Amino acid sequence: MALIAETLVHDLDHSTTATVRVHAPTHDVVCVDSTDWRCLVTITQGDDQVVFSQQVCGVSSLQALMLALVVAERAARERLGVWMTDGTHLPELRLVHQSGPPLT
């Protein structure tokens, strides 16, 4: 799986730093009547010690990627209360489901 995004983050007192990584969607999750997509999300600390790793699945590559970004943000926030290395807070991501006809 190819790495497509990463960022270095730290906790509020700068005592812990971690790297959050999101890998490209892969189309290989076998389901009953289709094949779904997955993205790997990892958080590492120190000498690349993995402190979080999760495969995030979706019915499309875009859904898998969007869900992976939400998982990455929440996992980093829960583990570190993270801040970006430039001092700004890691933005909170939210997915909104809107019912109705498709946009054209």
How confident is the model over 69-97, as pLDDT tens digits?
A: 989 988 888 877 765 555 555 555 554 44
| pLDDT greater at residue 61 or residue 9 | 61
Q: Which domain holds residue 31?
A: 3-81
pLDDT for res 104? 41
Percent of the chain having pLDDT more than 90? Answer: 41
Q: Is residue 88 part of a domain?
A: no
Q: Is residue 70 part of a domain?
A: yes
Q: Is residue 99 part of a domain?
A: no
Q: Is residue 95 part of a domain?
A: no
Q: Is residue 98 part of a domain?
A: no
Q: Is residue 77 part of a domain?
A: yes
77 by Cβ neighbours in 10 Å (0-12 / 13-18 / 19+) ranks as middle
pLDDT for res 9? 83
Q: Is residue 69 part of a domain?
A: yes
Q: Is residue 103 part of a domain?
A: no
Token representation of residue 55? 């495969």
In this predicted model, what pLDDT tens digit does every residue of 38-50 receive, in sequence order? 999 999 998 889 9
Domain count, the chain: 1
